[in-house]
Amino acid sequence: MRKFIALLCAAMLLTSCLGDAVAGDSQSLPSFWDSQLTVDFIIPGLEKEQDYNLYLQLRNTNEYPYSNIFLITTLRYPNGKTAVDTLEYRMARPDGTWLGAGIGNIKQSKLVLKEKIQFNEDGEYCLQIGQALRNNGEVDGVRRLLGITDVGYTIEKAAN
């Protein structure tokens, strides 16, 4: 019964957060996010000459042991161009309170990836998201990142 309620809350969170989106998708992760695992999305065709804001969506639980997260994103354009970004986002306040929205121990964060981007080329755009978290003083990344349950993206029309 508890799993059903948690699943219902997660579904409500996702639906409410995608209200203004013109495109979006998410994928559930296994019990941890392996540092070698990337989450890949194909972005559907969108209006040309339109500015969009591209957001990342992360869902975490109280099992997430950090106050921030490092992500590597790759956006592949149909013409072969590739834009790679290494990003850091705050996930919690200094007192440990989660910044995301949600009920109970599941929080969803909407993180800005690109603002006022256009998808003017014909063909397939691909978005790839990977985690790149490291513990202080360690060279190797965190191999098994706990507490991130879902990774996704949303695209909204940008305000002019």
Which whole number is the average pLDDT over 55-60?
98
pTM: 0.84
Range of the domain at 148: 2-157
Q: Which H or E element spans position 149? A: strand 148-157
pLDDT at 47 over 70: yes
Q: What is the CATH number of the domain that holds 76?
A: 2.60.120
pLDDT at 35 over 90: yes
Which whole number is the average pLDDT over 64-91?
96
pLDDT at 10 over 90: no
- What mean pLDDT value characterizes the chain? 88
pLDDT at 79 over 90: yes
β-bridge mates for residue 29, sequence order: none
- pLDDT per residue over 99-126, tens digit each? 999 988 999 999 999 999 999 999 999 9
Which among 59, 57, 60, 70 has a CA at the least distance from the CA of 131?
Answer: 70
Instruction: Work out how many domains the chain is built from and give that number.
Output: 1
How far apart CA 117 and CA 5 sit, in angstroms, is 37
Residue type, 116: K
56 backbone dihedrals φ, ψ, rounded to 5°: -95, 145
Surface-to-core class of residue 67, CB atoms within 10 Å of its CB (0-12 exposed, 13-18 middle, 19+ buried): middle
Please, which pLDDT band fits residue 135 given cuts at 50, 70 and 90? confident
Which among 5, 29, 12, 19 has a CA at the least distance from the CA of 102?
Answer: 12
